[in-house]
Amino acid sequence: MDKPVKPQTSTPSSTQRAYLDLRAAIITGQISPGERLKVEALKDTLSTGASPVREALSLLVSDQLVERIDQRGFRVAKTDRGQFQEILNLRCKLEDMALRESMANGERDWEDALVLAHHHMTRTDRADTAAFEARHKDFHMALLEACGSPILLRFCSQLYDLNVRYRYLAGTSKSYGRRDVAAEHRAILDAAVERDVDTAARLLREHYRRTGEFLAELID
């Protein structure tokens, strides 16, 4: 008697791989806002099965990077000026709070980790988009790491991911390219290490709001 055939199931690794690949493609604009996400096509693109793709899409819905279209499937979440302004305002408020708490609580280990995260970011080739983006987020989250609130950190991480799509859009602006972003990062790091809370918080808010100013010329 033949053994029964077990139904195909996804492994955590295949789902995670599909999730990370799709997330990176959405965040960096390789898949455009509003674009339909068809499971059959994504199976081939991601070289995986339908179950990992569906599970990855469901995770991205939770991240608000993908929208479920009733019973018709999925699409990349759309972008607009109003949403960006909401994300920007929330980041400025929540990260201001998290940074102040982190600087109050952070000890030598936090400071060492922050300096190392900045070093890794500056040593990463910006042309390697995926690698640089990971290091860039590591630096921004390292600033907040000692805030003592896992929930706040999770919100900040999610807002970072929602915002980063707009930052890639801003990157197409010639005027955006004239910013010395590396100097902005360095100034934030120096203020944090010197425990100058008000200056660090102000520089971080200005860092975000400069991106918002450039986006005004690009987002309808």
Instruction: Give 155-208 pLDDT, tens digit per residue.
Output: 999 999 888 888 776 665 555 557 788 999 999 999 999 999 999 999 999 999
Identify the bridge partners of residue 37 per DSSP, sorted by sequence position: 74
pLDDT for residue 217: 67
Residue 110 lies in a domain: yes
Residue 163 lies in a domain: yes
Q: Give the domain CATH number at 131.
A: 1.20.120.530
Distance CA 211, CA 220 (A): 16
What phi and psi, each to the nearest 5 degrees, are found at residue 21? -65, -45
Q: What is the mean pLDDT of residues 14-26?
A: 91
Residue 2 lies in a domain: no
Q: Domain limits at 48?
A: 12-76
- The structure's pTM equals 0.81
Distance CA 71, CA 138 (A): 37
Q: What is the mean pLDDT of residues 40-52?
A: 92
| Residue after which a domain boundary falls, among 76, 98, 116 | 76
- For 127-157, b where at least 16 C-beta lie within 10 A, e where not — what string? eebeeebebbbbbbbbbbbbbeeeebbebbe
Count the helices and strands in the chain (H runs, E runs): 9, 3
| Residue after which a domain boundary falls, among 58, 76, 94 | 76
Instruction: Give yes or no: residues 130 and 198 share one domain.
Output: yes
Q: Give the domain CATH number at 56.
A: 1.10.10.10
**172 or 134: whose pLDDT is higher?**
134
Instruction: Give yes or no: residues 62 and 86 share one domain.
Output: no
The residue written with tokens 């040593």 in the block is: 123
Instruction: Give yes or no: residues 90 and 199 share one domain.
Output: yes
Average pLDDT, the chain: 88
Q: What is the dihedral angle through the alpha carbons of 162, 89, 96, 198, rounded to the nearest 10 degrees?
A: 130
Structural domain count of the chain: 2
